[in-house]
Structure 1
Amino acid sequence: MKLFVPSPGHIDSLKELLTRKEKIYSIFMAGSPDYIGTGRSNLASPQLEEIKEQTEYAHKNGVKMELVLNSSCMGGRQLTPEGYRTNHWYVEKLVDIGIDSIVVADPYLVETISRDFDVDVVVSVLAFVDSPQKAEFFEDLGAKSIVIDSNVNRHFDVLHAIRDSVDCELKLLVNEGCLYRCPFRYAHFNFFSHAFGPEPRPNVLDDYYYLKCLELRIENPELIIKSPWIRPEDIKLYRDITDVYKIGGRTHFVDWILNCVNAYYNESYDGNLMDILDCPKDLKDLYNIPNKSLDGILEKQWTNCKKVCNKCGYCRTLTKKVTQVYSNGGTEHQMCLPWDTIAVKT
C-alpha cells in the first residue's frame, strides 16, 4: 500500500508526521498561493526555501514529496504571456528543488508541465475524472497518476472500467466527507481557488457553500452515510483497482492526520467514523457513527447500489440504525443518543 499523507506545510509538522515514516509513501502539501492556488484553504503557505528544506528532510527519511497546485480556476491568467512565464518559472524552481510530483487540475497545466519538465504530473481529484474516457484523455496529455473523482468511489463498474482503460497510476481519495454528487462542488472549489490563490483575492464575508453544506448534514446525517468515503476495513475491496490511497486533510492538525494514517495503514479503526473523515469539526462534535457498525455494508449493499435513493431507502434505514448524537455539549453529562429518537422529536 502507498499512502499519500497531507501536511499543513510547516517543517515542524513534517517532522512530527515522519515519526511514522514507515507508514507513509509520500507527503503532499500546498505551495505558495502567490503563483498557483489550490482547492483548499491553507494553514501554511511555504515559500521556495521552506519547500526545499521540507523536501530534503522528507527525502532524507525515505519519503517522497508532492506539491499541490490544483486550482480549479485561475481566471485565464495561465493562458497569458505573463501567467505562462510566472507559472513556468515556479514549476522550474520546484523541479530544481527535487519535488517528486506536482498535482494540477487544469488540462493545460497537465500537458505543459509533463512536456517541459522531468517531474511526475498528477491529475487532481478536482479534474473530476469519473469515466474511462476522461482518464484516457489525461493520460494522453502526459499524466503519470490520476486521483479519481471521489464521487465514483462506490461505483465499482466505473472504477474497473477506468483501470482497464489506462496504464498510469490510479489513486483513490479515501476519507473525504463531502456530499455525494455535491451541487456546490464546482462553485466552492472555484471560490477557494480565488480566495487562496494569487492576488487580487476576493474580500468575502463568509463561505456560503461551506455553511449550506454544513446545515444540510446537521439536519440530515443520512447525507454523511451517503458520502463516498472508503473505510480502512474496505481497502481490501479496491486492491484489484489500485494500491495507492490519498488521505485528505491538509487543513487539519498533525495528531488528527496521524490518527488517520494509523487507521488506513492498519486497515482498521475502532472508533467514531467521524474521527477520520475530512469534514467540519461541527459534525465531528455532533455525531457518533461507530465505524465497526458498518462492517460488510460496502460489500453486501453498496457495491451493487444503483444510486436511485428515492426508490431504495437503505441509507436512511442504516442512518437510523447506527447514527448517534452527542448530547449536553461535551460536559461530564455527555452521552450518545440514537439519532432516530432525536429526529422523531424534532
Structure 2
Amino acid sequence: MKLYVPHVGHLEGLEGLLENSDDIYAVYMAGNPDYVGTGRTNISAPGLEEISEQTEYAHDKGVKMEIVLNSSCMGGQHLTPQGYNKINWYFEQLNNIGIDSITVAEPYFVEMLARDFDMEVVVSVLSFVDSPQKAEFYEDLGADTIVIDPVVNRDFPKLEAIKESTSCNLKLLVNEGCLYQCPFRYAHFNFFSHANGPGPKLNVLDDYYYHKCLSLRINDPQQLIKSPWIRPEDLKEYRHITDTFKIGGRTHFVNWILNNVQAYSEESYDGNLMDLLDCPKDIRDLFHIPNKELEGAISQWKQCKKVCNKCGYCKRLTEKVVRVYSSTETGDSLEPLNTSGESL
C-alpha cells in the first residue's frame, strides 16, 4: 500500500512525520501561491530553497515529494504571455529540484507539464474526475495519475468503470469530511483558489460556504455518515481499484497526521471516526462516531443506488451510532441522537 501523507510545509514538520513513521510512501505540500494557488488555505508557503531542502531530506528517507498546485481557477492569468512565462519558470525550478510529482486541477497545466517536464503529472480531486469519460480525457492530456473525485468513493460500479477505461494510476482520498454531493463545492474551491493564489488578494469579510456547510452538518448529522470517507478497515474493498491512498489534511498538526497514518497503515482504528476526518474542528469536537460500530456498513454502500429519500440507511445508522458531546455541571458526556432502536 502506498500512503500519500499531508505535510504543512516546513522542515521541522517533515522531520516530525518521517522520524516517527515508516509507513509513508510520499508526502505532499503546497507550493508558493504567488505562482499557482491551491484549493486549501496555505498554512505555509515554502520558497524554492525550502522545497529543495525538504525534498532532499525526504529522498534521503526514501520518501517521494509531491507539490500541490491545484487551483481550480486562475482567472485566466495562466493564458497570458506574462502569466505563462512566470508559471513555466516555476515548474522548471521544481523540476530541477527533483520534485517527484505535481498535483494540478487546471487541464492546461496537465498538458503543459506532461509535454515539457519529467515530473509525474497528478490530476487533483478538484478536477472532479467522477466518470470513465473524464478519466479518459485527462489521460489523453498526459496525466500519469488521477485522484478520483471522492463523490464516487462508494460507487463501486463507477470506480470499476474508471479503472477499466484508463491506464493511469488511480489514487483515492480516504478521509475527506465534506458534504456528499455538496452544492457549494465548485464555488468554495474557486473562492479558495483566488484567496490563496496570485494577487490581487480578496478583501473578504467572511467565508459564506464554510459556515453554511458547517451549519448543514450540525443541523443534519446524517450528512456526516453520507460523507464519502473510507474507513481504515474498508481499504481492502478497494484493492482491485488501487493500492494508492491519500490522507487529506495538510493544515493539521503532525500528531493528527501521524494518527491517521497509523490507522490507515494498520487498516484499523478503535476510536472516534471524527478524529480521522479532514473537517472543521467545530464538528470534530461536537460529534462522536465510534468507528468500530460502522463495521459492515460498506456492504450496504457497495450496493446503494444513492437515492436517499427512498433508502434511509444512513439516517438510521446515524440515529443508531452517532453521539453528541454534551457539557453538564458534572463534566462532559456523550448523548445519543436517537434512542428509538429502529432496526437497520
- TM bucket normalised to smaller: over 0.9
| Structure 1 position 42, deviation (Å) | 1.2
| Structure 1 position 22, deviation (Å) | 1.7
Residue aligning to 1:165:
165
Residue aligning to 1:121:
121
| Structure 1 position 43, deviation (Å) | 1.1
Distance 2:194 2:50 in 1: 23
CA contact (8 A) 1:52 1:97 kept: yes
Distance 1:125 1:57 in 2: 27
CA contact (8 A) 1:30 1:38 kept: yes
Match of 2:337 among 325, 336, 339: 339
Q: Give the AA of the match of 2:74.
A: M
Q: Give the AA of the match of 2:106.
A: D
Q: Give the AA of the match of 1:14.
A: L
331-340 or 169-178, which moves further after superposition? 331-340
Deviations 1:188-244 (A, max 9, x none): 000000000011110101100000000010111100100000000000000000000
Q: Give the AA of the match of 1:158.
A: K
- Structure 1 runs not aligned, ≥5 long: none
Q: Give the AA of the match of 2:322.
A: T
CA contact (8 A) 2:2 2:243 kept: yes
Distance 2:135 2:249 in 1: 24
Q: Give the AA of the match of 1:256.
A: W
| Structure 1 position 332, deviation (Å) | 6.1
- Report matched runs for 1:165-314 at 5 Å: 165-299=165-299, 301-314=300-313
Distance 2:142 2:26 in 1: 21
CA contact (8 A) 1:248 1:278 kept: yes
CA contact (8 A) 1:21 1:61 kept: no
Distance 1:180 1:35 in 2: 31
| Structure 1 position 21, deviation (Å) | 4.2
Distance 1:20 1:297 in 2: 32
Distance 1:17 1:48 in 2: 21
Q: Secondary structure at the match of 1:269?
A: coil
Distance 1:332 1:22 in 2: 42
Residue aligning to 2:19:
19
Distance 2:57 2:64 in 1: 10
CA contact (8 A) 1:172 1:245 kept: yes
Q: Give the AA of the match of 1:141.
A: L
CA contact (8 A) 2:21 2:258 kept: no
Residue aligning to 1:133:
133
| Structure 1 position 341, deviation (Å) | 5.8
Distance 1:93 1:272 in 2: 42
Percent identity at matched positions?
Answer: 67
Distance 1:315 1:167 in 2: 34
Q: Secondary structure at the match of 1:170?
A: strand
| Structure 1 position 340, deviation (Å) | 1.8
| Structure 1 position 107, deviation (Å) | 0.6
Q: Give the AA of the match of 1:6.
A: P
CA contact (8 A) 1:21 1:63 kept: no
| Structure 1 position 75, deviation (Å) | 0.1
CA RMSD of aligned residues (A): 1.1
Q: Give the AA of the match of 2:308.
A: C
Distance 2:55 2:186 in 1: 31
Residue aligning to 1:90:
90
Residue aligning to 1:7:
7
Residue aligning to 2:77:
77
31-40 or 332-341, which moves further after superposition? 332-341
| Structure 1 position 247, deviation (Å) | 0.1
Structure with the larger helix share: 1
Residue aligning to 1:315:
314
Distance 1:225 1:163 in 2: 26
Please report the TM-score for the alignment, with normalisation by the length of structure 2.
0.97
Deviations 1:145-197 (A, max 9, x none): 00000000000000000000111100000000000010000000000000000
Distance 2:39 2:2 in 1: 23
Q: Secondary structure at the match of 2:338?
A: helix
Please report the TM-score for the alignment, with normalisation by the length of structure 1.
0.97
Residue aligning to 2:146:
146
Q: Give the AA of the match of 2:213.
A: C
| Structure 1 position 257, deviation (Å) | 0.5
CA contact (8 A) 1:153 1:228 kept: yes
Distance 2:248 2:64 in 1: 17
Q: Secondary structure at the match of 2:248?
A: coil
Distance 1:193 1:36 in 2: 8
Q: Secondary structure at the match of 1:59?
A: helix
Distance 1:227 1:217 in 2: 10
Q: Secondary structure at the match of 1:103?
A: strand
